């Protein structure tokens, strides 16, 4: 095992069907973590069991619904008798200039990126405490620190996560640690959708890597490595912090 203390524990991963959430789910499987995987598309979630139906359970649904988040926690306890880790990776963009953004798209983006985090934390924190404590990783974005054109709801919701992580860390330590990972441009379907906010998306993608100090777009495994470290006992004195895993994006 690469990371200490993970094997045999139980984690819920939201946004597990693609991109960063999928990468983290696969990495946790390799560390022998029992998984509850969440996503909107039931067929895509099923593909992630990897033949390990005994240790990987799926529950498709809408993360914006409070009852669905409670059901994820209940499934973890019923199937594995404990809940130790959360990875909250579900995200929505809501692309449009603020004066043109529909109220529905604003509400859906905030509901996915912020309200859903509140719901899962609300129901999971008592279960994690009853299981002897654990760790939480929320996937944020460098959009908390950098304005992207036509992303008002996304930037606002990701900025709010910074404050929420600090507050939860203060209330629930030492039993529970919580940290935020802020990726920049990672090769995911969400990135492909994000650059559609620009008039020249293909050129933007081609230019991005060369502008980064690391000279490449990130991969889901880049983010998974940081997330698993933060979940593990190797990060036992780390909480309430934000980590920019961005290839140097914020340094430019």
- Known catalytic residues are 154
CB 230 within 8 A of CB 223: no
Query: Measured between alpha carbons, how far is 150 from 153 in angstroms, rounded to an integer?
Result: 9
- CA gap 124, 235 in Å, rounded: 20
Tokens of 64: 């914006």
Report the distance separating Cα 215 and Cα 221, nearest Å: 17
Task: Give the number of C-alpha atoms closer than 13 A to the C-alpha of residue 101, restricted to the C-beta side.
Answer: 21
Q: Quick count: other Cβ atoms within 10 Å of Cβ 107? A: 14
Contacts of 214 (CB under 8 A, 6+ apart): 247, 248
Radius of gyration of the chain (CA): 17
Which is nearest to 123 in space by CA: 180, 58, 71?
A: 71
**Facing residues of 245 across strands?**
183
For residues 10 and 56, what is the distance between their CA atoms, to the nearest angstrom? 10
3-state helix, strand, coil in the chain (%, to 5): 50, 15, 35
- The strand order across the sheet containing 56-60 reads 56-60, 34-39, 10-14, 85-88, 134-139, 176-183, 242-245
């Amino acid at each position: 095992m690469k990371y200490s203390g993970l094997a045999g524990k139980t984690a819920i991963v939201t946004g597990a069907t693609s991109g960063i959430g999928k990468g983290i789910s696969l990495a946790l499987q390799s560390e022998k973590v029992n998984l509850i995987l969440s996503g909107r598309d039931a067929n895509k979630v099923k593909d992630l069991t990897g033949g390990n139906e005994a240790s990987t359970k799926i529950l498709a649904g809408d993360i914006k619904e409070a009852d669905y988040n409670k059901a994820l926690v209940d499934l973890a306890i019923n199937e594995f008798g404990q809940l130790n880790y959360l990875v909250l990776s579900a995200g929505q963009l809501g692309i449009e200039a603020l004066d043109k953004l529909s109220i529905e798209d604003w509400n859906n983006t905030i509901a996915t990126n912020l309200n859903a985090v509140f719901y899962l934390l609300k129901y999971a924190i008592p279960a994690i405490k009853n299981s002897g404590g654990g760790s939480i990783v929320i996937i944020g974005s460098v959009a908390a620190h950098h304005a992207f054109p036509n992303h008002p709801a996304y930037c606002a919701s990701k900025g709010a996560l910074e404050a929420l992580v600090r507050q939860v860390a203060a209330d629930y330590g030492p039993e529970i640690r919580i940290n935020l990972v802020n990726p920049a441009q990672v090769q995911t379907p969400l990135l492909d959708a994000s650059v559609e906010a620009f008039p020249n998306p293909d050129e933007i993608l081609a230019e991005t890597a060369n502008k980064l100090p690391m000279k490449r777009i990130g991969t889901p495994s880049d983010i998974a490595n940081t997330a698993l470290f933060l979940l593990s006992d190797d990060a036992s004195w780390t909480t309430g912090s934000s980590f920019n895993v961005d290839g140097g994006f914020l340094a430019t």
